């Protein structure tokens, strides 16, 4: 466990208090769900998982909280093209398990890969620097995804 419920509570409590947000049961449940999976959960997925911990939490609150977490930078939001957004805990820009995605356009399967991340990151940072300067943009994040057919789907 990310330890320390004693005084400040879990790591994210500070972030919330600092931003003037309240620490509520639904928010704790949602963050607990997110921190216990490696999967790319949809809002509905989160809702169902949270429901097991705290059945009174509504889907609306899940959407609202996810949006809040995305705005705070604690959670990433992805679109894999199946019409519903996916969420995963951020865990630091180049922190543990920073990864990109490989999406099967046939079955929708998503593979996280970390193999070539280092080179990618390096190039991206160069590019970001160039783009920032040229277009006077403050670049906050990027998205890289590869699409294709997974081994199970390529045979048809």
Partner DNA sequence: CTCCTTATTGAAAATGGTTTCCATTATCAA
Partner DNA sequence: TTGATAATGGAAACCATTTTCAATAAGGAG
Residue 71 binds DNA, judged by CB under 7 A: no
Residue 145 binds DNA, judged by CB under 7 A: no
CA dihedral 98, 104, 105, 108 (to 10 degrees): -80
| CB contact at 8 A, 104 and 145 | no
Residue 91 contact among DNA, a copy of itself, none, beta carbon within 5 to 8 Å by kind: none
CB of 148 to a copy of itself, least distance (A): 4
Structure tokens at 43: 């809002």
Would you tell me how many other CB atoms lie within 10 Å of the CB of residue 31?
A: 22
CA dihedral 58, 60, 63, 67 (to 10 degrees): -120
Near DNA by CB under 7 A: residue from 8, 36, 37, 60? 60
Would you tell me how many other CB atoms lie within 10 Å of the CB of residue 40?
A: 16
Residue 35 binds DNA, judged by CB under 7 A: no
Residue 67 contact among DNA, a copy of itself, none, beta carbon within 5 to 8 Å by kind: DNA
Residues that bind a copy of itself in the complex, under the rule CB under 8 A: 79, 81, 102, 104-105, 111, 113, 115-116, 119-120, 123, 126-128, 130-132, 134-151, 154
């Amino acid at each position: 466990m990310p330890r320390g419920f004693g005084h400040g509570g879990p790591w994210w409590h500070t972030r919330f208090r600092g931003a003037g947000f309240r620490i509520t049961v639904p928010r704790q449940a949602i963050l607990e769900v997110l921190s216990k999976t490696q999967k790319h959960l949809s809002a509905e997925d989160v809702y169902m998982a949270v429901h097991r911990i705290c059945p009174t939490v509504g889907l609306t609150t899940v959407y609202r909280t996810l949006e809040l977490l995305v705005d705070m930078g604690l959670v990433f939001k992805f679109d894999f093209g199946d019409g519903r957004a996916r969420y995963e805990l951020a865990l630091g820009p180049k922190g543990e398990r920073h990864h990109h995605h490989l999406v099967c356009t046939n079955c929708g399967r998503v593979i996280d890969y970390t193999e070539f991340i280092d080179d990618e990151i390096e190039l991206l940072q160069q590019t970001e620097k160039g783009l920032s300067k040229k277009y006077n943009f403050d670049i906050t994040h990027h998205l890289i995804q590869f699409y294709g057919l997974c081994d199970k789907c390529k045979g048809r």
